[in-house]
Structure 1
Amino acid sequence: MRDPLVRAELKRAGVWFGIAVALALTVLLIQPLMLIFAGLVFASMLDGGARLLGRALPIGRSWRVGIVMIAALAFIFGIFYWTGVEISNQAAQLWVTLQAQGTRFVAWLSGMGLVPAQRDLMEFVRQAMGSLGRITGYVNTAFGAITSAFLVIVIGLFIALEPRLYERGLAWLVPTRQRRQFEITLDRMAHTMRRLMAGRLLGMVVEGVLTWIALSIGGVPMALLLGILTGILAFIPNVGAFIAGVIMVAVGFSAGVDTGLWAIGTYVVVQTFDGYVLLPYVARKTVDLPPALTLGAQILLGTLLGFMGLLLADPITAMIKVWLERGSEQEEAKAGETTTSPMGRGRDAPGASG
């Protein structure tokens, strides 16, 4: 052990062993890690609201976070209080309608010979849904979903109340010479996350309200519930809009061809407005993620991590993008320092001797 070569080899072996252990723990603990990241996403929403409120109310941060939390809960419970009975009735009717429309569609495909019999197809659908992700233990049951949501809210609330405390704790895990750059990266990530979530919430509200109004004008059944579902699914780009469109069109055609065509027109108009007006504006103010990149991340994370991976694919991709951009900036800064150093100028100067 006194031999420097032996100590160097042991240190090198320890690094590789530590990496292997870290990867194994990541695989084993992926569920709580995803819940913690979801808590960070929720904390960014609370933090953004508290910062926005701080421009008008010069009060303590804890009070501002509490006001934002209470306002959000009051908004949610207020909607369900005023429309709870209507939403409950429409939800039961929606499930029956979707089952009937799905059975008719599958029967039509089977009659055309495009798909196997209905029993085999339903078995295929169950297998496909089961292969979305093997790590979905926290959201497989209603109790698990409620528990997960409660943990996300608690984690996000604690982090939003004292964000600097947790930033310092993460910085302690980084070598001293790299802490300053690490803190800058964390600030960039937090700033990007706040803006990304603000854009998501704006898109959810706009899509939900526009869908509700348009479907109500066209006489499509369950317009209020469809608007709420469209707004909620708008949190998941690409995939959420497709699912909302399928549900909307199925309900529209259940009431007739005219309402079905109106539902298709509503979906096209809302998604066109969202894709060509709202999203470009939000992207300029937040983070510009290419649609193909976002969809690819959703496919990968949804397959690996199930519903939680699909739900958090967009924030995870945005954070990875910020991290890579910061790494590129640091590399460029180091290259610039090397080029402008006296020794660098001596090597690159014209006429310098070999």
Structure 2
Amino acid sequence: MTMEQSAAIDPEPGPNELRDPFVRKELKRASVWLGLAAAMALVVLLIQPLLIIFGGLVFAAMLDGGVRLLGRVLPIGRGLRLLIVMLCAVAFILGVFYMTGVQVAAQAEQLRVTLEVQANRLISWASTSGLMPGRADLNGLAQQAMGSFGKLTSWVGTALGALTSLFMVLVIGLFVAMEPRIYDRGLQWMVPSDMRGEFAITIERMAATMRRLLAGRLAGMLFEGVLTSLCLWAVGVPMALLLGILTGMLAFIPNIGAFVSGVLMVAVGFSAGVDTGLWAIAVYFGVQTFDGYVVIPMVARRTVDLPPALTLSSQILASTLFGVLGLALADPIVAMIKVALERNSERAIAEDSGGT
């Protein structure tokens, strides 16, 4: 017998063979980390279309809330209720533009001119007082700031891009609101079968939270817009109707929206005189105080109570990273994350209780 024939052959797999359990385990671990890195890269690259899709889901939640509310008084099919909600929304928008279109258009042009005049006055006063650099240096700084900010929001920098994004949000929201169960089943199909029950519960809670959040937000927008218009008109502030509409629209973005509407309100008020400007300041603080201490707590008890510091921080981060659309959708995103974390905590507590 030769030496080759007498040599013992080791039947165990080598470390470079896929049959080796250790190699297979390490490959699975590496594939998980690579998949996670690839998913994060895709989210970064596709954040703009993802935000548009999420905006469509927010709009779908608004439509679904109206359909459910209408279902309490009209026992008809979901499709007919959705059609009624869409027709009412379109009729409201067209009615507002028809009744106030000419006035709002004239006031919008007057508002632009007024803000330019007030801004120039403020800059001139600050420059002569030594509080700000000269106009040439200031223009250079402003151009640099706008240039850096424009890089973050270049995808909505044109009217065509903004209208296209808005159209896609409306279309996605309408399709999802028409047949929500189809998309719900599709999402569940993408989840492992043993996790679909938990996933369905989380999605249902997210949808209910979104409906409550948007219902409260719309109620707050309506309240702030109407009350601001009436108060400004009562104290003689010009362009009260337009300022009320802008205040109501900006109320969709808490904290930052109130600040922007306040700046507009005060600037227009002082354009008509010192007394009118002081009245505008009083109206702003009065409406915001009443809204913050009376309306928001009442709405928050029935909707979603998000801490103000968390809301403002999320808005700053979202606006810096994703631009205007990120700023508008910061609250719904935080609310959805909050629901997911709360559900995960409940499941962990239930598992610990069952284990003990």
Q: TM class by shorter-chain length?
A: over 0.9
Mapped to 1, the partners of 2:189 and 2:218 lie a distance apart of 33
Q: CA deviation at 1:309?
A: 1.0
Q: 2:195 is matched with which residue?
A: 178
Asked whether the 8 Å contact 1:135–1:305 carries over to 2, the reply is yes
Asked whether the 8 Å contact 2:152–2:320 carries over to 1, the reply is no
Mapped to 1, the partners of 2:145 and 2:349 lie a distance apart of 45
Q: 1:350 is matched with which residue?
A: none
Counterpart amino acid of residue 199 in structure 2:
F
Mapped to 2, the partners of 1:153 and 1:116 lie a distance apart of 45
Q: Does residue 243 of structure 2 align to residue 232 of structure 1?
A: no
Asked whether the 8 Å contact 1:132–1:304 carries over to 2, the reply is no
Unaligned runs of 5+ in 2: 1-17
Q: 2:290 is matched with which residue?
A: 273
Q: CA deviation at 1:126?
A: 4.0
Mapped to 1, the partners of 2:70 and 2:38 lie a distance apart of 44
Q: Deviations over 1:222-270 (max 9, x none)?
A: 1100000000000000000000000000000000011101100110111
1:287 aligns to what SS in structure 2? coil
Mapped to 2, the partners of 1:140 and 1:276 lie a distance apart of 37
Q: 1:342 is matched with which residue?
A: none
Counterpart amino acid of residue 153 in structure 2:
T
Asked whether the 8 Å contact 1:133–1:307 carries over to 2, the reply is no
Pick from 60, 85, 91: which aligns with 1:68?
Answer: 85
Pick from 113, 120, 128: which aligns with 2:137?
Answer: 120
Q: When the two structures are superposed, what TM-score results if normalisation uses the length of structure 1?
A: 0.93
Matches within 5 A, 1:226-305: 226-305=243-322
1:113 aligns to what SS in structure 2? coil
Mapped to 2, the partners of 1:170 and 1:150 lie a distance apart of 24
Mapped to 2, the partners of 1:44 and 1:212 lie a distance apart of 28
Pick from 22, 39, 44: which aligns with 1:27?
Answer: 44
Mapped to 1, the partners of 2:315 and 2:195 lie a distance apart of 32
CA RMSD of aligned residues (A): 1.2
Q: CA deviation at 1:169?
A: 1.0
Q: 2:6 is matched with which residue?
A: none
Q: Deviations over 1:139-185 (max 9, x none)?
A: 11111111111000000001111111111111112111111111101
Counterpart amino acid of residue 26 in structure 1:
V
Q: When the two structures are superposed, what TM-score results if normalisation uses the length of structure 2?
A: 0.93
Q: 1:81 is matched with which residue?
A: 98
Mapped to 2, the partners of 1:167 and 1:129 lie a distance apart of 42
Counterpart amino acid of residue 94 in structure 1:
L
Asked whether the 8 Å contact 1:234–1:241 carries over to 2, the reply is yes
Counterpart amino acid of residue 32 in structure 1:
P
Q: CA deviation at 1:123?
A: 3.4
Asked whether the 8 Å contact 1:133–1:305 carries over to 2, the reply is no
Larger radius of gyration: 2
Pick from 106, 130, 136: which aligns with 2:153?
Answer: 136
Q: Does residue 238 of structure 2 align to residue 218 of structure 1?
A: no
Q: 2:125 is matched with which residue?
A: 108
Q: 2:14 is matched with which residue?
A: none
Asked whether the 8 Å contact 1:301–1:310 carries over to 2, the reply is yes
Asked whether the 8 Å contact 1:254–1:260 carries over to 2, the reply is yes
Counterpart amino acid of residue 322 in structure 1:
V
2:264 aligns to what SS in structure 1? helix
Mapped to 2, the partners of 1:324 and 1:134 lie a distance apart of 33
Aligned residue pair count:
339
Q: 2:179 is matched with which residue?
A: 162
Pick from 306, 315, 318: which aligns with 2:335?
Answer: 318
Q: 1:8 is matched with which residue?
A: 25
Mapped to 1, the partners of 2:199 and 2:311 lie a distance apart of 25
Mapped to 2, the partners of 1:70 and 1:253 lie a distance apart of 40
Matches within 5 A, 1:40-59: 40-59=57-76
Counterpart amino acid of residue 204 in structure 1:
M
Structure 1 residue ranges, 4+ long, deviating more than 3 angstroms after superposition:
125-135
Counterpart amino acid of residue 216 in structure 1:
W
